[in-house]
Amino acid sequence: MTAVLKLISHKLCPYVQRAVIALNEKGVPFERIDIDLANKPDWFLKISPLGKVPVLTVGTESGEVALFESNVICEYIEETQPGPKLHPADPLARAQHRAWMEFGSAILSDLWGLETTQDAAVFESKRQALIAKFARVEAALKEGPFFAGEKFSLVDAVFAPVFRYFEVFDEIRDLGMFDRTPKVRAWRGALAQRRSVRSAVGADYQQLLRAFLARHDAHLLKLAA
């Protein structure tokens, strides 16, 4: 029996995008169910202990099993689904990739602060923190076009949603985030062209992100030229 996969989602969530990209790379059919995180359905709260997306439900002969936390979901997809391998075969290289996936989560934490703060000092602090983190990423990159070279990996699936934010941010103001990281800029460009990455969000993504910034009265919007 082939497991039936359903991904509980939110249209803006970068952690959801990781799972969508991994599933797309594997060519695995799945059903995506978007919910309103401001009005979470009762059925969702019953299967998500943290009340967060993504949640992947896996249909089995004995019923549905719910998996939560994006990295756990991506690892399950990698271990159980056909298609190209998204982790290195070597255990040490695989552990390194997992560590950089965690680093991508730390970057998302700073991005949340950058996009939601109304305070100029907090904004600048987060901007500098991100510049420093991207410098660390720059030092880890090699020839490209992807994190591990020619082969797309789960690290790429983690960082693609990070870079997607800047498609909107750059239209508001050049934050100088990648001025000194040419390898990161090239990586960002390669990921933006990847079909699995482009299809991980809807056509309304940028409009929804701008509306999100407006609802938070984000300091970023005050920088518009």
Q: Tens of pLDDT along 135-145?
A: 999 999 999 99
Domain that holds residue 18: 4-80
The catalytic residue positions are 13
Residues 72, 128, single domain; the answer is no
Among 173, 197, 219, 203, CA closest to 19: 197
Q: Is the dihedral of CA 11, 126, 48, 62 positive or negative?
A: positive
Residue 73 · residue 19 · CB < 8 Å:
yes
pLDDT at 62: 85
pLDDT at 204: 98
Residues 72, 123, single domain; the answer is no
Q: Give the tens place of pLDDT for each residue, 177-218.
A: 999 999 999 999 999 999 999 999 999 999 999 999 999 999
Residues 38, 129, single domain; the answer is no
Residues 54, 111, single domain; the answer is no
| CATH number of the CATH domain containing 36 | 3.40.30.10
Q: Indicate the residue among 80, 114, 130 that finishes a domain.
A: 80
Residues 165, 70, single domain; the answer is no
Amino acid at 133: K
Residues 43, 114, single domain; the answer is no
pLDDT at 131: 98
Residues 141, 163, single domain; the answer is yes
Rg (CA), the chain: 18
pLDDT at 171: 96
Domain annotation covers residue 85: no
Domain annotation covers residue 86: no
Residue 154 · residue 97 · CB < 8 Å:
yes
Residues 14, 39, single domain; the answer is yes
Total count of domains within the chain: 2
pLDDT at 2: 66
Residues 95, 74, single domain; the answer is no
Residues 213, 172, single domain; the answer is yes
Calpha distance 193→169 (Å, rounded): 18
Amino acid at 213: L
For the chain, which ranges sit under pLDDT 70?
A: 1-2, 225
